[in-house]
Structure formats: structure tokens, C-alpha cells
Amino acid sequence: MTDKEIWRILFESLLHKNTTRVSYFNNQLEKSNIAPIIFVKCLLDELKKIDEYVNSSSFKAWEIDNKTKEKKYFKNIILLNKVTEGKMMGQIDCNNINEIAKPLLEFSEFILKNDTQNSKQSKKLKKTSYVWLGNPKNDLPELHKLMTNDYKLIASETTYEQFKAVFTGQPIEGINQIRWHQDNASELLYFINRLEESNNIDYNPKRADYIRLAACFIKPNGEQFNAVWKSLKTSIKTNLSLNKQKSIDELVSNF
């Protein structure tokens, strides 16, 4: 999800009654097609930024204190009319930020509880990383070299052992995630799609596994990709430049 989409979800929660805001977040989760834990993390990360902003002082808004005769600065506010392009009125400030935070935290606790229960019930169905279908002993060292040194698609400090784990069917909870070279989810998705289409890695043609993708790769800064993968896939060739597509096609053609 983009920051704009996350802000929309957070702010539109205010249009619902206090008693229905948790249900609202759950409905947005179902529409998002994102893993529940990642969805919650995206919302909480952005809420933290908003909370820090409205609880910091603005040097643009001040008045002279009657007692001290010194400037007294007011805290920042977010005008909903501006950030929602006229769809909502009012403002977010340090006094009402909890109207978003409280139901979101309640929703997060619910998701975490369910995730823990589901994990215990599905130990036999633990997800694993990708499985290289060619000759992993020969192919993976070469792919690692090409991606780190020649095409520079992943962080140069990515070790071979770290890289190999992503393509040898290891449990995803133990994966040391690889940092993609740019915050470009479309490029990463295109790379994985090409490996699948060329039968270099195993996959289910009827159901894309975006949880596996998000578990194996992260942004250059170490954060999760906040991407709606299913939506990206439908428009990937229009969103990704031809040069990037050709570069990845060239890389994959080596295997």
C-alpha cells in the first residue's frame, strides 16, 4: 500500500462510530489482499509518524505568552480537507489522534491473537522459501554473483548463504531477508514472475504466493514493501520501464 492509501484508511475510520471502527479496519483488510500482519504493520507504522507529527511543535504557529512575554508555539495539525482532497472536514491533532489509535490497537491485538492461533494449528503447513528447479549447486552461485555485482539488483553485502536460503525451500520464519536495491516493488515482482515463467523456481500458476515474496525480500532501508502485489501484477508492464524489463529478461536468460 502507498502512504496515501494508508492515510485514507486511517482517516476514514473517523467516519464510523467508535463501536464499528474495529470492524471497519477488518473490512479494509479483506479488501486489501495483503497478509494481516503486514497490513497491521503498515497502518501502525504510518500512525506512529502521524502521532509524532501532531505531538511536535510548529514553528509556523505561535503567540506571545502573556506571562513570560515569550513566543509560545502550538503543536502541528493535519487538515483533513487538504489531505483527503475535500472528502473530509476537520483536523487531526494531539487531542484526537487517539480516536484512530485506540480502535486500531484493538484491531491489531485481534489480528496478532488470531495469527498466533493459526500458527499453532498449521505447523505442518509452514511456508517455505522458493525452490530452484535447475541445478542449484551451479546456478545459484552464478545468480548471486550476477545480482550483486553485474546487475546490482540486491544489496552488495548479501552473502551467498543468505541468498541460497531464499531459493532452497527453507522455512520463511528463519529467512534473513534480502534487501532489494530500490524501493521498487514492481521491479521485484517482475523479477520473480520471470523466474516462474521460465520455470526456474516452483510456483502455483493458479495462486500467486505474495506472502513468500514479502518474507524473502525487503526494501533497501530494511522495511517491508507496502505493496498491493495483486494490483501491481495486473499493470506491471505499464508501471515498469522497458529498460528495467529488458535488463531482468537478460539476467534470467542465463538460466
User: Which residues on neighbouring strands pair with residue 171, listed in sequence order?
Assistant: 128
Q: What is the pTM of this model?
A: 0.52
The confidence score (pLDDT) of residue 119 equals 55
CA distance 24 to 42: 16
Taking the chain (255 residues) in runs of 10, the rounded mean pLDDT of each run is 84 85 89 85 90 79 72 78 81 86 89 69 66 93 96 95 95 93 93 94 84 92 86 82 94 94
Task: Report the 10 Å Cβ neighbour count for 203.
Answer: 19
Check residue 96 and give its pLDDT: 82
pLDDT for position 86: 80
Q: How many other C-beta atoms lie within 10 A of the C-beta of residue 42?
A: 23
pLDDT, position 123: 46
pLDDT at res. 89: 85
In this structure, is the dihedral angle defined by the CA atoms of residues 97, 26, 228 and 164, taken in order, positive or negative?
Answer: positive
Ramachandran quadrant class, 164 (left: phi over 0; alpha: psi -120 to 50; beta: rest): alpha
pLDDT score, position 71: 66
Give the list of residues 6+ apart from residue 103 with CB closer than 8 angstroms, or none.
13, 18, 21, 22, 24, 25
**pLDDT score recorded for residue 238:** 82
Pull the grid cell for residue 165: 536460503
SS (H, E, C) the chain: CCHHHHHHHHHHHHHCCHHHHHHHHHHHHHHHCCCHHHHHHHHHHHHHHHHHHHCCEEEEEEEECCCCCCEEEEECCEEHHHHCCCCCCCEECCCCCHHHHHHHHHHHHHHHHHHHHHHHHCHHHCCECCEECCCHHHHHHHHHHHHHHHCCCECCCCCHHHHHHHCECCEHHHCCCEEECCCCHHHHHHHHHHHHHCCCECCCCCCCCHHHHHHHEECCCCCCCCCCHHHHHHCHHHHCCHHHHHHHHHHHCCC
